[in-house]
Amino acid sequence: MSKIVFITNNSKEIRNKLKEARFTVCDCAEFEDSVWLTYHPDYKMPFDIHGTGYTDEGDWEEKYPPLERIKMRLKESGYYSEEREFYNTVEEFLNKYGNKKH
């Protein structure tokens, strides 16, 4: 599994900054419970940026708040790649990965 990069925030402003930097953003990033964003720099996906924290209706995780779901998934072996990076701001993320999209 390739590295996963987390932006530990999500908002319309953040998504717009990513789009301005020429990243494609999946619709799942706009889901109400998508409180973080993810990026897989070594793996080509239909969209560059995805939301995380949401769950499908009726899923057992549904009873937990989004951030708690993410924490549980981080502990679960195989849900996310073991190779991880975390960025608290979109600016920090773009300082490292922004030039890869130009």
Predicted confidence (pLDDT) per residue in 53-100, tens digit: 999 877 888 899 999 999 999 999 899 999 999 999 999 999 999 876
In a domain, 102, yes or no: no
Range of the domain at 35: 4-88
Predicted confidence (pLDDT) per residue in 9-63, tens digit: 999 999 999 999 999 999 999 999 999 999 999 888 789 999 999 998 778 888 9
In a domain, 10, yes or no: yes
In a domain, 11, yes or no: yes
In a domain, 34, yes or no: yes
Instruction: Give the Cα separation of 99 and 33 in Å (integer).
Output: 29
In a domain, 13, yes or no: yes
pLDDT at 102 over 50: no
In a domain, 22, yes or no: yes
In a domain, 98, yes or no: no
Q: Label residue 1 by pLDDT band (50, 70, 90).
A: low
In a domain, 97, yes or no: no
Q: Compute CA distances 88 → 27, 70, 94, whole Å.
A: 21, 15, 11
